[in-house]
Amino acid sequence: MEEENSFLGRGWAFPPAFDAKSKKSVMAEEEEDIRQSLFIIISTTPGERIMNPKFGCDLISSVFDNIDSLAVNRMKDLIRTAILNYEPRITLHEVIIDTSQSFEGVVHITMEYTIRKINVRTNIVYPFYLKEGTNVTGM
């Protein structure tokens, strides 16, 4: 029972979960797998993965930066580089960083991209919390 978009990928859902009935891990497929992959790439600090220490995006280094044009451009570059290196299924068009809530400790990062194999253009918004101790679970 292969789906026509099965080539987009299938993997464990993030965060990992298990179905109580089937006693199997919950899986993410196709566009949802790509969306979750982007969240994982942006959320992972390089060095966290022992077998792939370069994997991730070093956004955490921006937590204490003054939110000015230099910091925004640095964040955009970190995101572009990480996605270019670790998500080959998409073409990233634009990274938009909304700093309107930076005084509340939140910067919204919008990534506009096209899924290469099916030529679908979409976007996601990643809430990057600047306050220490805040956890990102808004997937």
Q: Which helix (H) or strand (E) holds 110?
A: strand 106-115
Residue 46 structure tokens: 């390089």
Tokens of 112: 């506009």
Identify whether 138 is part of a domain: no
DSSP for 7-31, please give it.
GG-EEE-SS--EETTTTEE-EEEHH
Query: Would you put residue 87 in left (φ > 0), alpha (ψ -120 to 50) or beta?
Result: beta
Residue 31 predicted with pLDDT over 90 = no
Q: Does residue 52 lie within any of the structural domains?
A: yes
* Longest CA span, the chain: 52
Contacts of 78 (CB under 8 A, 6+ apart): 57, 58, 59, 62
Q: Band of the pLDDT at 77, cuts 50, 70, 90?
A: very high
Tell me the average pLDDT across 79-93: 95
Q: Which residues pair with 114 in a beta bridge?
A: 91, 121
Is 135 part of a structural domain of the chain?
no
Is residue 120 assigned to a domain? yes
Q: Quick check: is 139 in a domain?
A: no
91-108 pLDDT, tens digit each: 999 999 999 998 888 999
Residue 6: predicted pLDDT: 56
Which is higher by pLDDT, 49 or 2? Answer: 49
The total of structural domains in the chain comes to: 1
* The model's pTM: 0.79
136 within a domain of the structure (yes/no): no
- The domain in which residue 50 lies consists of 6-129
Assign residue 48 the CATH number of its domain.
Answer: 3.10.450.40
**Structure confidence at residue 59 as a pLDDT band (50, 70, 90):** very high
